[in-house]
Amino acid sequence: MTDQNSKPSPRTLIDAETIQARIRELAARIDRDYAASDCLIAIGVLKGSVFFLVDLLKHLQIPVKMDFFQTASYGSGSVGGEVRIRKDLDLSIRGRDVLLIEDIVDTGYTLRTILDLLRFRGAKSVKLCALLDKASRREVEVPIDYLGFSIEDVFVVGYGLDYDERYRNLPYIGVYDGE
């Protein structure tokens, strides 16, 4: 099959059905863990986490609010790891249970910065839910409380993840092999 630019479609790494089944399992765990929470605030990191966040939240039974963060890395994001905020939260998180939702944890710099900031702003609790983990690439420690899948060190696209803003709308996770 070819995509709209006549390039071969990325090879499937995790198919759509497998992603959805795993999301249902994660949602059931989150429902149980936050059963006593007033109202969870789920925070997505734009843009890659959008598909994952929406599908996950559709399965939650607990009360939940939704907000978004957008970051930009200087350089590649893995050199020095300096991260700046491009879009900040709309909601106050002081005293609230916060679940940060991310597409993929790579070096860990982006997540480390955001998690520190959320704690600094006085959240009652902060946990991380990530769809994918490339553990072999980690440079700073980031504990993942809810994980979809561990993957090898390959560049993946689809289900929110992009290469140069393309492929986000693929319903599956594929391996991008270059042009």
Residues that bind ligand IMP (CB under 6 A): 48, 77-78, 102-111, 155-157, 161
For residues 121 and 88, the answer to whether their CB atoms sit within 8 Å is: no
CB of 30 to ligand IMP, least distance (A): 20
Which residue among 97, 103, 106, 133 is the active-site one?
A: 106
Q: How far is the CB of 179 from ligand IMP (least distance, A)?
A: 15
CA distance 98 to 127: 6
Q: Toward ligand IMP, which CB reaches closer, 123 or 131? A: 131
- Cα angle: 170, vertex 174, 179; to 5 degrees: 95
Buried/exposed code over 139-176 (b: 16+ C-beta within 10 A; e: otherwise): eeebebbbbbbebeeeebbbbbbbeeeebbebebbbbb
Q: Is 106 a catalytic residue?
A: yes
Q: What single letter denotes the amino acid at residue 152?
A: E
Least distance from ligand IMP to the Cβ atom of residue 24, Å = 23
Nearer to ligand IMP, 37 or 78 (CB): 78
Comparison of 97 and 133: residue with beta carbon closer to ligand IMP: 133
Q: Which residues are catalytic?
A: 106
